[in-house]
Structure 1
């Protein structure tokens, strides 16, 4: 019987988890509900994003490490988010500058390896430089890999992957189309260095993935909650893990 990773500081009673429970290796979260949270509290929209960026993420990373989760992916900015108001986009860019400025040091100190997926080339050059700096500085950290999905859309990822595959394998190496396989395509996805998510969580009440990791989520367990992302704390993550613990994964069998 495997040793439980849950200690006496758990926000849920240990008896609620199977004694041989192993945490999901990779948890991905669609961070939804920031703007609704701000409206509910009578605040400017950016305040919902700010609470998540400056408070919630840090707590979730710490709790994920405590729970033995090795990969945590957070959808922070979608391809569609570029269509939001200029004021909101500018506010989000300011938060990303903070996140990939000196704020990233607190994650480095925790042994966090930072990664990104998505089309980062669409972001301002100073943010790209900050991302590159912290990805390099944290590359050998092993406590947990935290991946931020920035400028990410599932269809966009697949299109970019197919283009790279055609350019590198078909046009340059003359790979016959009949030899294009799923395994080859995976090697060109943004997530090629990550395991597929075991558990995808969506706060905010919506019950869909909205194009998040469409290739990688084929056998992922899904967990939806009405809790808005700025209120998604350690207890909510534990609730999702408890739900995951009760499921039997068959991977299509």
Structure 2
């Protein structure tokens, strides 16, 4: 039976959820942050789930209206400060991925502090993809590899990536059927699930249902069984 050791989620639909309710888009992001906590705690309670990677802010999200981006930065900093206790209580290690240099010094400090204060936790690893784009990740990895006469190997590239762990199960909420520049290398053999549920309405019950469906799939990884 398959094990969803590494689950990755594209959390889509916050803005549309708010607009459908006649609210400002930022209210959707607030509601979505509550779901992040629920899903993270659910995964932490299941020993067979080792990693949870959430697409929180992409390299393309800077194109959104300035006020929305500014709000997202404040919400992220507030979320991390508030969730530190949750991380430690549930033995969750926080590991961000992405190019953090674009963020304010204050936000970078908060990210680093939460990472350091949870470094001892040996349960679930929660990664937030922050200012992350898979193409950007690959380019940074290639540029960081120091080669002289030798060709770049798969192992060298893997070790240089922000995330060196293959994804077993990718979930995208919100109804769109695309991966939007997320974990292109790590998704090579992942099973992809797309659901119409907007992220603020997503629940641990729906995640549990998807995991049950995932476990029934015959995964061949290019071979025969």
Bin of the TM-score, shorter chain as denominator length: over 0.9
Q: CA RMSD in A?
A: 1.2
Structure 2 CA distance, aligned partners of 1:120 and 1:252? 35
2:149 to 160, 176, 185: 176
Q: Tell me the equivalent position of 1:148.
A: 128
What is the DSSP-based 3-state SS (H/G/I as helix, E as strand, rest coil) of the residue aligned with 1:117? coil
CA contact (8 A) 2:2 2:214 kept: no
Q: Tell me the equivalent position of 1:235.
A: 205
Structure 2 CA distance, aligned partners of 1:72 and 1:181? 27
Matched residue count = 222
Structure 2 CA distance, aligned partners of 1:23 and 1:141? 22
Q: Residues 29-79 of structure 1: CA distance to partner in whole angstroms, max 9, x if unpaired? A: 0011111101111110011111111x1111111111233311100000000
Task: Identify the range of structure 1 (66-75 vs 114-123) with the bigger mean alpha-carbon deviation.
Answer: 66-75
Q: Tell me the equivalent position of 1:204.
A: 174
Structure 2 CA distance, aligned partners of 1:180 and 1:154? 18
Question: Structure 1 residue 48 and structure 2 residue 28: aligned?
Answer: yes
Q: Residues 134-172 of structure 1: CA distance to partner in whole angstroms, max 9, x if unpaired? A: 10110110221000000000111011111101xxx22xx
CA contact (8 A) 2:44 2:92 kept: no
What is the DSSP-based 3-state SS (H/G/I as helix, E as strand, rest coil) of the residue aligned with 2:53? strand
Structure 2 CA distance, aligned partners of 1:213 and 1:99? 23
Gaps of 5+ in 1: 1-20
CA contact (8 A) 2:58 2:130 kept: yes
CA contact (8 A) 1:100 1:127 kept: no
Gaps of 5+ in 2: none
Deviation at 1:22, TM superposition (A): 5.5
CA contact (8 A) 1:120 1:150 kept: yes
Q: Tell me the equivalent position of 1:67.
A: 46
Write out the 4+ residue segments of structure 1 that deviate beyond 4 Å after TM superposition.
none
Mapping 1:14-93, distance limit 5 Å:
21=1, 23-53=3-33, 55-68=34-47, 69-93=49-73
CA contact (8 A) 1:23 1:67 kept: no
Q: Tell me the equivalent position of 2:110.
A: 130
CA contact (8 A) 2:2 2:217 kept: no
Structure 1 CA distance, aligned partners of 2:113 and 2:11? 24
Structure 2 CA distance, aligned partners of 1:22 and 1:156? 31
Normalised to the residue count of structure 2, the TM-score between the two structures is 0.95
Q: Tell me the equivalent position of 1:187.
A: 159
Structure 2 CA distance, aligned partners of 1:225 and 1:106? 27
Normalised to the residue count of structure 1, the TM-score between the two structures is 0.85
Structure 1 CA distance, aligned partners of 2:95 and 2:32? 18
Task: Identify the range of structure 1 (106-115 vs 25-34) with the bigger mean alpha-carbon deviation.
Answer: 106-115
CA contact (8 A) 1:205 1:224 kept: yes
